[in-house]
Structure 1
Amino acid sequence: MHYRRAASFSGSRLDIHPSARKHGVTDADIRHAVRNAIAIVWWDSDRRLYLGPARSAALLEVITLERSDDLESAIHAMPMRRQYRGVLMRGER
């Protein structure tokens, strides 16, 4: 697992899987959170956790999978849970 406190979206395109909409986060807010991420956690070579603001400035957690066609798919999005505060503050969980 690798942490970055300030980072930017690494993929050239973001696809939003229907599962990312489960918690009612809009596509526009998912894209905004990923593009403006405060921190990114690399869980493995193809899975990332983005912590960033929705358009309202509420913090979101967005999980993406990197695909072989230079596309990232957002598979999960919801308001950021308390367990990730440490990632923002100290770069750790």
Structure 2
Amino acid sequence: MIKGSARKRGYSDSELLHAVANAIRVWPHDGYDMVIWPRFDDSLLEVGVNSDGDIFHAMPARKKFL
């Protein structure tokens, strides 16, 4: 499931699902993972996925996850 909070910056559902399925880096946290994915325009996206597999966060990748 993709939560509304992940959609607030305008990323499409297909882009978010593709990001999770093709992550280039995964940062595990307590109860969720932050995945990094290169977008088609060569920018990097960070996507938060909770332990249930729900995508709850998406934004341009911050330096702390690179």
TM-score tier, shorter chain, comes to 0.7 to 0.9
CA contact (8 A) 1:24 1:78 kept: no
CA contact (8 A) 1:36 1:53 kept: no
* Corresponding residue number in structure 2 for 1:38: 24
**Structure 1 unaligned regions, length at least 5:** 1-14, 86-93
Identity over aligned residues, as a percent?
Answer: 37
Tell me the TM-score normalised to structure 2 length. Answer: 0.84
Rg (Cα) greater in structure = 1
- Give the paired residue count: 65
User: What is the root-mean-square deviation of aligned Cα atoms in Å?
Assistant: 1.3
- Following TM superposition, by how much is the alpha carbon of 1:32 offset from its aligned partner in structure 2, in angstroms? 1.1
Q: List structure 1 segments (4+ residues) > 6 angstroms apart after TM superposition.
A: none
**Structure 2 unaligned regions, length at least 5:** none
Pairing 1:37-76 to 2, within 5 Å after superposition: 37-44=23-30, 46-54=31-39, 56=40, 57-67=42-52, 72-76=53-57
Alpha-carbon separation, structure 2, partners of 1:28 and 1:52: 13
